[in-house]
């Protein structure tokens, strides 16, 4: 007998017919003698719809009220799924995050889980119920509803799997596993049988939204076996696992991630004196803006050009901060670009190989794609390019590193 936490994403519960199909699947699992806790997302498109409603009412919606609003999406699907299970003769009980008592900090719209009181769930399972929990939400110590950031149902599932010591956390979605890159962009992308936690964290943080970053970090930290599978077809999916050191030859590159959500801002001609970088970045971080890549360039004239990337939602705020700094620091000008994209190659195999960056840059140059920024770590290389070349870059790197279905790794 196995005990799994099974999470079904937005597309998997996007219509009543699909909710019925999920109920059939959960019931079949239970009829085979296993236990499960099910986590569901809101119906696909629902969270976006709620966000637009909020934006139509208020320019910068109050975070606390945003969470009250967004958490309703998941409350609908837990109730519907339980009804679907009940109508099949399967006892099931729904819980919102606050009913379980998934306690988080109070950072509205991107709260972090602090603890889970799993007593109710255990008692319900022992009484023969399937327990269905709303993903993406919790409650802070004062009883305020919180949400865990977009894609946060994955993190609810992993956190429950850790708290309940489940045998596996299964993430059912609209693709049958983690691919070498987004299969919607590259037709020949290949499903990976397994990928390391370290690589999956990089892929997720560099833009592959198949799993929320925090869910992978959590699974790695608490050793939760994590698997991505299709809701619509049977198959082994992709297991996210610790590095297998018995495999002598790691592939050089395991996957390609990309991100269209960033914008680039530059302050040019800043006098090159100590402390300039911190004077530029201090007001940016005080405004709660996360900075990703940073490049600083000093010419012969003792003047520095300082460039960094931020989320596109923060572009206007970042530009306004730099424009104020331009006067204060005596800089020459401030420029920005929202039409950029970041493409990254990821692989633990890079650690032990030289020349991976050269191969990447040569391929991009062969395609006539100009690299605007570069950043590297032991297991990834990222470049910022013009957004209009994104798909070309991803496809040609996918082929340069022989990642497609037909090639041997």
Is residue 209 within 8 A of residue 149, CB to CB? The reply is no
Closer CB to ligand ASP, 77 or 309, in the complex: 77
**Binding to ligand ASP, residues 55-74 (CB under 6 A):** 73
Binding of ligand ASP by 150 (CB under 6 A):
yes
Binding of Mg ion by 73 (CB under 5 A):
no
Is residue 7 within 8 A of residue 40, CB to CB? The reply is yes
Closer CB to ligand ASP, 134 or 310, in the complex: 134
Q: Where are the alpha helices (DSSP H) in 114-189?
A: 119-126, 153-164
Q: Which stretch binds ligand ASP (CB under 6 A): 59-67, 148-156, 297-305, 382-390?
A: 148-156
CB of 126 to ligand ASP, least distance (A): 28
Closer CB to ligand ASP, 156 or 180, in the complex: 156
Q: Which does 238 bind (CB under 5 to 8 A by kind): ligand ADP, Mg ion, ligand ASP, none?
A: none
**Binding to Mg ion, residues 114-153 (CB under 5 A):** 151
Q: Which of 61, 97, 138, 151 binds ligand ASP (CB under 6 A)?
A: 151
Closer CB to ligand ADP, 93 or 190, in the complex: 190
**Binding to ligand ASP, residues 16-55 (CB under 6 A):** 41-42, 47
Total number of residues that touch ligand ADP (CB under 6 A): 19
Q: Which does 182 bind (CB under 5 to 8 A by kind): ligand ASP, Mg ion, ligand ADP, none?
A: ligand ADP
Q: Encode burial over 325-364: b for 16+ CB neighbours within 10 A, e otherwise.
A: bbeebebeebebbeebbbbbbbbbbbeeeeebeebbeebb
Q: Where are the alpha helices (DSSP H) in 206-292?
A: 213-221, 276-286
CB of 61 to ligand ASP, least distance (A): 15
DSSP state of 85: H
CA-CA distance, 44 to 14, in Å (whole number)? Answer: 5
Q: Where are the alpha helices (DSSP H) in 32-100?
A: 46-57, 63-87, 97-100
The CA distances from residue 7 to 59, 70, 190, 192, in Å, are 33, 18, 23, 20
Is residue 385 within 8 A of residue 360, CB to CB? The reply is no
Binding of ligand ASP by 136 (CB under 6 A):
yes
Q: Which does 184 bind (CB under 5 to 8 A by kind): ligand ADP, Mg ion, ligand ASP, none?
A: ligand ADP
**Binding to ligand ADP, residues 252-281 (CB under 6 A):** 255
**Binding to ligand ADP, residues 96-155 (CB under 6 A):** 151
Instruction: Draw the binding track, 207-246, toward ligand ADP (x: CB under 6 A; -: no contact).
Output: -xxx------------------------------------
Binding of ligand ASP by 135 (CB under 6 A):
yes
Binding of ligand ADP by 359 (CB under 6 A):
no
| DSSP letters for 279-311 | HHHHHHHHTTPPEEEEEEEE-TTSEEEEEEEEE
Instruction: Draw the binding track, 155-174, toward ligand ADP (x: CB under 6 A; -: no contact).
Output: ------------------xx
CA angle centred on 268, ends 313 and 318, rounded to 5°:
20
The CA distances from residue 345 to 32, 231, 258, 342, 374, in Å, are 41, 28, 9, 10, 12
**Binding to Mg ion, residues 243-302 (CB under 5 A):** none
Binding of ligand ASP by 153 (CB under 6 A):
yes
Is residue 137 within 8 A of residue 61, CB to CB? The reply is no
Total number of residues that touch ligand ASP (CB under 6 A): 13
CA-CA distance, 382 to 93, in Å (whole number)? Answer: 45
Total number of residues that touch Mg ion (CB under 5 A): 2
**Six token digits for residue 302:** 């003792």
Phi, psi of 146 (to 5 degrees): -125, 160
Interface with Mg ion by CB under 5 A: which residues? 9, 151
The residues that touch ligand ADP, with contacts defined as CB under 6 A, are 9-12, 41, 151, 173-175, 178-179, 181-184, 208-210, 255
Contact residues toward ligand ASP (CB under 6 A) are 9-10, 41-42, 47, 73, 135-136, 150-154
């Amino acid at each position: 007998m196995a005990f799994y936490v099974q999470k079904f994403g937005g597309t998997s519960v996007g219509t009543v017919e699909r909710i019925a199909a999920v109920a059939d699947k959960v019931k079949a699992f239970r009829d085979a003698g296993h236990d499960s806790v099910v986590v569901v997302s809101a119906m696909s498109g629902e969270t976006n719809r709620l966000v637009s409603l909020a934006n139509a009412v208020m320019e910068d919606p109050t975070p606390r009220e945003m969470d009250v609003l967004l958490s309703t999406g998941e409350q609908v699907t837990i109730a519907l799924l339980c009804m679907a299970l009940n109508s099949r003769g399967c006892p099931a009980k729904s819980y919102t995050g606050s009913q379980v008592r998934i306690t988080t900090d109070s950072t509205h719209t991107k709260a972090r889980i602090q603890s889970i009181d799993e007593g109710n769930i255990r008692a319900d399972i022992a009484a023969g119920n399937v327990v269905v929990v709303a993903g993406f939400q919790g409650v802070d110590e004062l009883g305020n509803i919180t949400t865990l950031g977009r894609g946060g149902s994955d993190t609810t599932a992993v956190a429950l799997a850790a708290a309940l010591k489940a045998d596996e956390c299964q993430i059912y979605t609209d693709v049958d596993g983690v691919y070498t890159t987004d299969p919607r962009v590259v037709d020949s992308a290949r499903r990976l049988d397994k990928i390391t936690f370290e690589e999956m964290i990089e892929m997720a943080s560099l833009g592959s939204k198949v799993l929320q970053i925090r869910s992978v970090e959590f699974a790695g930290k608490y050793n939760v076996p994590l698997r991505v599978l299709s809701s619509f077809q049977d198959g082994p999916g992709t297991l996210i696992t610790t590095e297998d050191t018995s495999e002598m030859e790691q592939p050089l590159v395991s996957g390609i991630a990309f991100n269209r959500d960033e914008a680039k801002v530059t302050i040019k001609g800043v006098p090159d004196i100590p402390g300039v970088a911190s004077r530029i970045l201090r007001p940016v971080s005080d405004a709660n803006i996360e900075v990703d890549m940073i490049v600083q360039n000093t010419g012969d004239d003792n003047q520095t050009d300082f460039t960094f990337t931020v989320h596109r939602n923060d572009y206007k705020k970042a530009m306004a901060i730099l424009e104020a700094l331009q006067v204060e620091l005596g800089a020459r000008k401030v420029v920005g670009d929202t039409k950029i994209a970041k493409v990254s190659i990821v692989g633990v195999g890079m650690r032990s190989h030289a020349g991976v960056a050269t191969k990447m840059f040569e391929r991009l140059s062969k395609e006539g794609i100009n690299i605007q920024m570069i950043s590297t770590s032991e297991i990834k290389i990222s470049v910022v390019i013009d957004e209009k070349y994104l798909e070309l870059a991803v496809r040609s790197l996918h082929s340069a590193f022989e990642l497609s279905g037909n090639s041997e790794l």
